[in-house]
Structure 1
Amino acid sequence: MFKYIQKIPHPDEVKEIMPLSNELKLIKEKRDQEIKKIFTGESDQFILIIGPCSAHCESSVLEYVSKLGKLQDKVKDKILMIPRVYTNKPRTTGEGYKGMLHQPIPNQAPDMLEGIRKIRSLQMKVIKASGLTSADEMLYPTNYPYVEDLLSYIAVGARSVENQKHRLTVSGVEVPVGMKNPTSGDLLVMLNSIKAGQLSHNFIYNGYEVETSGNPLAHGILRGAVNQYGRNIPNYHFEDLMYLAEKYGERGLLNQALIVDANHANSMKQYQEQPRIALEVMKSRNYNPLIKKMVKGLMVESYLVEGKQSENGTVKGQSITDACLGWDQTERLVYDIMEQL
């Protein structure tokens, strides 16, 4: 049985009430072009998709991205940073904090209408505070229209990548979309998802029958896997990258780009391992030209304070979902990566 709580307005209504200013539109357009050129090979900048596991506290997120914006200025010749501002969180069993969209204030009752307002407001404030445009996860395809004019990168998670609606929606998105390998680790599933995202489709979306153009910027994200016994299996090693480079070539995909996630199953959920993993990927990239051409960037979980706390925690700038690197570790890692470029 469904209990209808409140009617959610159409995305166009929300955008009309909370419009993006011309100044922020220009920043978004410029950033989109810069990011696109990296994926198409026109630019040799390296991408870092970096930030907290989940954006649960607006003030902490804005403090973090302000620091990131200043760091970006120092490394801009070689690195382009995309802040992770994840406002939807998949939960393995459906329990726990599901992100700012569901719960604008953690541990309080869900209010998804207020959540929509909150995440739209936050993403605009991020651009103002840092000059950077964000990445978020497409947990629900129906939510994307509410923020499509604000985001410069989308990730499709390991639990969603086999879903038909996600794949079809990706085909109409105009920014790069990273398709993670599923939790099983099956890279063919990921490759099929990328192919589906790059093709044109007809389907029902946002209350309309639509036809999409296909998204040539759809690409893969390696995040490690979990076997039948619940053990983590990394897939960032040299042999994994070479295997994927070969499979990309066999499939003839439009965009043979890859992002490597340094956390999750790749780090065995040990967030402190992210710098080591990142630098191993950089060494593989520098060793082999195929890998260098394919690996466009890294994904790193980082926040103001290292580690994690409970959902009731009061430490400002510390994750309440997956554990993250702290700011000092983050800054050091960014400079270490730059030295490898």
Structure 2
Amino acid sequence: MKRDLPTAPVAACQASCPPADEDLLAECPFAYTEPMPSPAALRLEQPASSRAMQTVIHGRRVLRNILDRRDPRPMVVVGPCSIHDPVAGRDYAQRLKQLADELADSLYLVMRVYFEKPRSCTGWKGLINDPHLDASCRIADGMREARRFLLDVADLGLPAATEVLDPLSPQYLGELLSWAAIGARTAESQIHREIASALPMPIGFKNGTDGGLDAAVNAIVAASRPHSFLGLDASGQVAIVRTQGNRLGHAVLRGGGGKPNYDAASVAQARNALQKAGLVPSIVVDCSHGNSSKDHARQKQVLQDVVTQWQAGEAAIVGVMIESFIEAGNQPLLADPAQLRYGCSITDACVSWSDTETMLREAAQALRQLR
């Protein structure tokens, strides 16, 4: 699915280099730019309703209260590994909203809405980067689609969560998010720690892909402090961003290095590391990734173990993450996207909707019995 680059920018580059000097011509960058609407322009084009903003603000408030131990319910960040089909994503959101209302006495459900996918090498990089699934990389279209999707989810009354990957995306979407994550590959990144210090919602920092927790702990500390850095303002102007720090950072245990870290001993180790750094020990367990050994069906086992820890009085675990979609498993991205199975992930494998309902209802019932 290779797309030919436009010839005009290449011609312009060639015109700027002396044609007789092939060495200089070789130094011309094989890159070009195209216009992107500013964050302010996109917000004006797709404004948030009062209901949507009430959902976001309420979600942030509840999650803050969970982290501050003023709300005893665990958070559950649950949803597709990534959003590739907005129609199926909206279908999932409507189902999740009904389940969230049903279980609201015991669990606080937040929809996982991931638009950007970090890649170790190559692959589809998410709805924002390639919304048409054809390597055309119409990023402006993708950002519009992502914002429209978040607005629809918020209008349902369902809070949303995502991973912050591109440093500019929060200016376009951040106002619509109640929770965000910094991934295992970017927790060591200075710019991501600085961005987290500016965001107005709780931020979960994942442990490293090797399973180590140091990067996440250091990131939580760094993000809690004020920073000044180069960024983008709402008009699209490069600006100096000055932050006050985000005190709502917490750790996300996702396994790594070939082994899980959701068990009681690993949680105790993480709790002690956070306390040693002078932090409130708040931990979210990611039931997928290294903790499930990339087997989506094992997420149920991880959740059951976490519930057992709650029953034993483990207060450091404030929530879980689950990768879930309408259909179980995953599928490869096809040359013809119309041939993809409806409601099935094209990135990491997910548990089915029916299994999601069972898992969360059982967890809620176990928590009710603790009262």
Query: TM-score range with shorter-chain normalisation?
Result: over 0.9
Equivalenced residues, count: 330
SS of alignment partner, residue 148 of structure 1: helix
Residue 210 of structure 1 aligns to a residue whose secondary structure is strand
AA aligned to 2:187 is: V
- Say if 2:99 is the partner of 1:71: yes
Give the Cα separation in 2 of the matches to 1:2 and 1:340: 58
Which residue number in structure 2 is paired with residue 259 of structure 1? Answer: 284
1:27 deviation in Å?
2.1
The TM-score normalised by the length of structure 1 is 0.94
Q: Which residue of 2 aligns with 1:83?
A: 111
Distance 1:210 1:53 in 2: 31
Distance 2:226 2:67 in 1: 20
Q: In the TM superposition, what is the alpha-carbon distance from 1:143 to its structure 2 partner?
A: 1.2
User: 1:31 & 1:221 partners in 2: Cα distance?
Assistant: 19
* Aligned position for 2:14: none
Structure 2 residue 325 is matched with structure 1 residue 303: yes
CA RMSD of aligned residues (A): 1.2
Letter in 2 for 1:56: H
Partner of 1:229: none
Q: Which amino acid aligns with 1:67?
A: R
Structure 1 counterpart of 2:256: 225
**Structure 1 counterpart of 2:132, from 90, 93, 105:** 105
Give a deviation string over 1:194-229, Cα, whole Å, max 9, x none.
111111111112121122111011111000112xxx
Gaps of 5+ in 2: 1-28, 233-237
Separation (CA, whole Å) in 2 of partners of 1:170 and 1:293: 25
CA contact (8 A) 1:107 1:311 kept: no
Residue type at the aligned position of 1:23:
R
In 2, the alpha carbon distance for the partners of 1:339 and 1:22 equals 34
Corresponding residue to 2:146 among 119, 131, 148: 119
Confirm or deny that 1:317 pairs with 2:348.
no
Task: Describe the superposition over 1:119-175 as per-residue Cα deviations: whole angstroms up to 9, x where unpaired.
Answer: 0011111122x3102111101121111001111111111111100000011001110
**Partner Cα distance (1:323, 1:186) in 2:** 24
Aligned amino acid, residue 97 of structure 1: W
Tell me the TM-score normalized by structure 2: 0.87
Aligned to 1:336: 362
Match of 1:211 in 2: 242
The correspondence for 1:174, drawn from 200, 207, 232, is 200
The answer to whether the aligner puts 1:197 opposite 2:223 as a matched pair is yes
Percent of matched pairs sharing the same residue? 31
Between stretches 145-154 and 17-26, larger displacement belongs to 17-26
Question: CA shift at 1:33, angstroms?
Answer: 1.1
CA distance in 2, matches of 1:304, 1:107: 23
Instruction: Provide the rounded CA distance (Å) in 1 between the counterparts of 2:189 and 2:243.
Output: 17
Unaligned runs of at least 5 residues, structure 1: 227-231
Q: Provide the rounded CA distance (Å) in 2 between the counterparts of 1:105 and 1:126.
A: 21
Contact 2:187/2:219, CA 8 A, preserved across alignment: yes
Cα distance between partner residues in 2 of 1:89 and 1:34: 27
Point out the structure with max Rg over C-alpha: 2
| 8 Å CA contact 1:311, 1:320 repeated in 2 | yes
Q: Secondary structure at the match of 2:168?
A: helix
